[in-house]
């Protein structure tokens, strides 16, 4: 871990630039292949109808990620360690097990996405692309110098953003129709599954754990005044990074709607999306699509593996050290399901969608402990969540749970 620039009481651009980074690692996590699958399906099936879900999810995300980062700042410990220390052992064990399952679902999506990207770009068999993604991920984590990884991730995020901004220019979307869809809710039985998957792909359990941990890559100092001063920079980092993520996710849906929905094309795989995109939007659009997907798969697999290692070591009360056998085991073990999926040659697109739904189902079991800890003055001290913040976060948690209940109801009963 490295140090920051000296803390100044007045706002300092130099301090801000030295701080930017933790929020971008989280942002890469919700511009992952799972997002690609859900956004492509949402845009191709429902046009611009579900854009509001991305906006709502991003607003939710900004508040939740800020609370996770603040927990890390106030306590000097990650969410995983705080749960282990402040919850009964059976409850902590259940929460830890559930979030590890969510991480496995995420890892499946990330590795599959990277493998698909390599297949589209270079024509490799899918299993070779997955292995390449895994090897790159493991190498960058195990040989990690945190801030080098952080710079690589920020660079990858920049490439993904540029690719999608170019695609927006190429597809000529209908901006007059898009504007109201960004904020006006619209949902029904046919779109609830995809809407829930989009939400799960945005507000991801492992990212909440990750943010509470990587925030310690900055040297905080020990005084309350220093922590409060640095908390201002964390808010800017989080807001800026999450807004960038909103732009990219919105662009994904807009491109899919402008190309596939407009031409009445049913997209069932990411590979099909790439192949179909080329004759409709040009060869360059297809290349940009593949490049962005490769960088998305690699970068998001790195961040989810970092989260997995922190979660497993944190819940077990072990040091988070890339040189230890436990840390390396944590990085490898959650990649096994992705390999199994490739061997059994299942429908990768459906698996990507399902993985995001699993994240959304687990999300309440991450949000509720975060709310409890953030409201506990013995844990947070003067950084305890105030009424407005706590009320807003509670409303978010209730909304997530309600969406899950509605999803199961409509699925089981066939009701609208």
The pLDDT tens digits of the residues spanning 321-351 come to 777 888 878 877 777 877 787 777 667 667 7
- For the segment 357-397, what is each residue's pLDDT rounded down to a tens digit? 777 788 889 999 999 999 999 999 899 999 999 999 999 88
pLDDT band at 8 (very low <50, low <70, confident <90, very high): very low
pLDDT exceeds 60 at position 230: yes
| pLDDT at residue 3, rounded to an integer | 44
Mean pLDDT to the nearest integer, 48-69: 92
pLDDT value of residue 282:
77
Q: Which CATH architecture has domain 13-380?
A: Up-down Bundle (1.20)
pLDDT band at 30 (very low <50, low <70, confident <90, very high): confident
Tokens of 153: 């991730």
Q: Give the chain's mean pLDDT.
A: 83
pLDDT tier, 5 (very low <50, low <70, confident <90, very high otherwise)? very low
Domain boundaries, the chain: 13-380
pLDDT at 407: 66
Residues of the chain above pLDDT 90, percent: 29
Confidence of residue 21 (pLDDT cuts 50, 70, 90): confident
pTM across the whole model: 0.86
């Amino acid at each position: 871990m490295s140090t920051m620039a000296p803390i100044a009481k007045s706002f300092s651009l130099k301090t801000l630039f030295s701080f930017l980074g933790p929020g971008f690692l989280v942002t890469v996590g919700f511009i992952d292949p799972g997002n690609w699958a859900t956004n492509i399906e949402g845009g191709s099936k429902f046009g611009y109808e579900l854009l509001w879900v991305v906006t709502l999810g991003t607003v939710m995300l900004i508040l939740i990620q800020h609370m996770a980062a603040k927990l890390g700042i106030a306590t000097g410990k990650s969410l995983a360690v705080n749960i282990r220390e402040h919850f009964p052992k059976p409850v902590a064990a259940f929460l830890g097990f559930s979030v590890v399952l969510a991480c496995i679902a995420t890892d499946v999506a990330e590795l599959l996405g990277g493998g698909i990207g390599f297949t589209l770009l270079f024509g490799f068999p899918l299993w070779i692309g997955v292995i390449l993604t895994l090897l790159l991920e493991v190498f960058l984590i195990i040989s990690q110098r945190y801030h080098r990884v952080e710079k690589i991730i920020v660079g990858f995020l920049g490439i993904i953003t540029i690719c999608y901004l170019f695609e927006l220019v190429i597809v000529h979307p209908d901006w007059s129709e898009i504007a109201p869809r960004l904020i006006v809710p619209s949902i029904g039985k046919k779109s609830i599954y995809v809407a829930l998957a989009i939400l799960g792909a945005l507000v991801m359990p492992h990212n909440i754990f990750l943010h509470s941990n990587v925030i310690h890559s900055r040297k905080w100092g020990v005084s309350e005044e220093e922590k409060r001063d640095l908390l201002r920079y964390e808010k800017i980092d989080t807001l800026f990074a999450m807004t960038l993520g909103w732009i990219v996710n919105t662009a994904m849906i807009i491109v899919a709607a402008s190309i596939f929905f407009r031409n009445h094309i049913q997209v069932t795989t990411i590979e099909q999306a790439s192949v179909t995109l080329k004759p409709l939007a040009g060869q360059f659009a297809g290349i940009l699509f593949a490049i962005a997907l490769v960088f998305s798969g690699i970068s998001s697999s790195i961040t989810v593996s970092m989260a997995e290692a922190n979660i497993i070591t944190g819940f077990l009360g072990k040091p988070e050290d890339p040189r230890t056998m436990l840390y390396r085991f944590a990085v490898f073990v959650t990649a096994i399901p992705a390999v199994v999926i490739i061997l059994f040659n299942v429908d990768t697109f459906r698996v990507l969608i399902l993985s995001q739904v699993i994240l959304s189902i687990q999300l309440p079991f991450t949000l509720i402990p975060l709310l409890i800890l953030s409201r506990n003055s013995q844990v947070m001290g003067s950084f305890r969540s105030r009424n407005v913040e706590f009320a807003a976060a509670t409303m978010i948690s209730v909304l997530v749970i309600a969406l899950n209940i509605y999803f199961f109801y409509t699925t089981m009963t066939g009701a609208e």
